[in-house]
Amino acid sequence: MGKFLNQAQVDGFQRDGFVSNLAVLNPTEVAELNARTEAFEAERPQDLSWAFDIKANLLFDWVYELGRHPLLLDAVEDLIGPDILMTNATFRIKNPGSHIDYGWHQDSARIEVKPAFVIVFVALSPATAQNGCLRVIPATHDRVRPFTLTEGPGQLNRLVARVVGADPDQAVDLTLEAGEIAIFHGNAVHGSAANMSDKRRVAILYDYTPAKARQHVGRGSGQLVRGVDTWGHWGHEPVPEPGLTETNVLNRRAMLSTYHENVLMGPRLPGETITFPDRPY
């Protein structure tokens, strides 16, 4: 038995590349997180496009703290070991009628990480087939598939990989209740469709990487959230201050500038100018 997962769940993850419907947050925690999300949306709508994007864990102390939730980390430890870096947190919100469709992709396609990282989908609302839940194609985590590059939805000037020849008929809907999580392998082929319902879908996605892992291109960075890092393969990121402070914004900018080649941004292309979501100063 692991700290959180049973052996059947661990075996299923190793076979299929994902494990789902893990109850982590209680209703009070879910309500507080949604209230924080909605308060920021109401108070600073002009900042949503960049503040809820890549490495939100460097901007919001409560996003960082959610990523350190003991039950969540127990489940992650059962899959990747005790020395854990939080290497990204990103909001994924689909409002009713949203046409955002994240096509079939592997998060590790452009920069491979070995041993692989995992992604945790934290549902702050129900995730259903109608509102664009996560979909995963089982047993596709064994290798990186051929892909093409395109500009991602809602990710201006950021190239994203799209798997060539993915078979959607093989996909599994990871429907979740609010407070549940799904964990999937960094190589797993996954995507999500548009929100065709009248219900909002709210989630935060976290990347967790074994501290001993290496990128095949460049050097990434992360926050050590459990265990130790005796390998030194990753840059270490600061813990955010309470509130979206200028210090937090500039720290995030510094991390993304220094460690530009990460799995979300991809390898730097010849002549490429470093760009990432931010606000002007």
Is residue 144 within 8 Å of residue 203, measured between CB atoms? no
Burial class from Cβ neighbours inside 10 Å (0-12, 13-18, 19+) for residue 1 reads exposed
Is residue 239 within 8 Å of residue 224, measured between CB atoms? no
Q: What was the pLDDT predicted at 149?
A: 80
- d(Cα 171, Cα 36) in Å, to the nearest integer? 33
pLDDT digits (tens, 9 = 90+) for 24-59: 999 999 999 999 999 999 999 999 989 999 999 999
What CATH homologous superfamily does 7-95+111-123+176-184+197-258 map to?
q2cbj1_9rhob like domain (2.60.120.620)
Strands (E) across the chain are located at 18-23, 84-94, 102-105, 113-114, 118-123, 134-136, 147-151, 159-163, 172-174, 180-185, 190-192, 201-210, 214-215, 221-226, 235-236
What does pLDDT average to over the chain?
92
Count the Cβ atoms, other than its own, within 10 Å of residue 12.
16
pLDDT digits (tens, 9 = 90+) for 188-213: 999 998 899 999 999 999 999 999 99
When mean pLDDT is compared across 26-40, 43-57, 245-259, 265-279, the lowest value belongs to 265-279
Give the start-to-end residue ranges of the domains of the chain.
7-95+111-123+176-184+197-258
